[in-house]
Amino acid sequence: MSEEDEVTRMVILGPAAQVSQSQVVGELHMLELPLTIKSTCYGAVVHGKEEDVMKAIQEIRKLDPANIFTKDRGFPPGDPRRCRAKRGGAREGFHQLEKEFELLGYVGEALEWPEPVILKKHSKISPEEFKKIAEECEP
């Protein structure tokens, strides 16, 4: 199997997740798939053949569908170009993950209790209407 056929996925637990990182890693190991599994502060990193990784992701989502999130990762786990152990400091992409993590609780909530919404389509306004608005805004 060449390196190019392999994919890496991050499993991220939302703040309201009912499972812990170690439980996720344990479950991933129990699947007995040929994968590299790494436990991390946000969840786990799974690396291997695409079909095995996707199967693992589908299974692991079942633990807590609304609070387990996954994302592709370009670099394989422990890659010296990205691994904190080699280069020090936060890994690239960590700050983004940190920022998005702040919203994951609300995302999970919205997934659990979906509400119907109407998608607004913005239409163009006529020049007359625009002129009227511009005049109203003039001091």
Partner 1 sequence: MKIAIFPPNSLILADLVERKGHEPLVLQKEIRKKVTDPEIDSPPFNITEDEPIKGLKYAAIEVPSGVRGRMAIFGPLIEEAEAAIIMEDAPFGFGCIGCARTNELCMFVLRKQGIPVLELHYPETREETMEVVNQINTFLDNLESEDKEGGD
Residue 81 is a binding residue for partner 1 (CB under 8 A): yes
- Helices 21-30 and 50-61, axial angle in degrees (round to 10): 130
Give the residue with the Cβ less far from partner 1, 3 or 32. 3
Distance CA(86)–CA(51), nearest Å, equals 30
Span of 8-16, 18-26, 31-39, 126-134 interacting with partner 1 by CB under 8 A: 8-16
72 lies in the site for partner 1, by CB under 8 A: yes
Binding partner 1 (rule: CB under 8 A), the pick from 55, 73, 77, 83 is: 73
Q: Does the protein bind partner 1 through residue 51 (CB under 8 A)? A: no
92 binding partner 1? (CB under 8 A): yes
Decide: is 28 part of the binding site for partner 1 (CB under 8 A): no
Closest approach, Cβ 30 to partner 1, in A, equals 23
Q: Considering only residues 105-124, where is the footprint of partner 1 by CB under 8 A?
A: 106-107, 109-111, 114-119
Q: Give the single-character DSSP code of 5.
A: G
CB-CB contact of 52 with 33 (8 Å): yes
Tell me the pairing of strands 43-49 and 6-13: antiparallel
Asked if residues 74 and 8 have their Cβ atoms less than 8 Å apart, the reply is yes
Q: Of 26 and 74, which CB lies nearer to partner 1 in the complex structure?
A: 74
b/e for 102-137, b at 16 or more Cβ within 10 A?
A: eebeeebeeeeeeeeeeeeeeeeeeeeeeeeeeeee
Which residues are near partner 1 by CB under 8 A?
3-4, 6-8, 10, 12, 69-76, 79, 81, 92-93, 95-97, 99-100, 103-104, 106-107, 109-111, 114-119
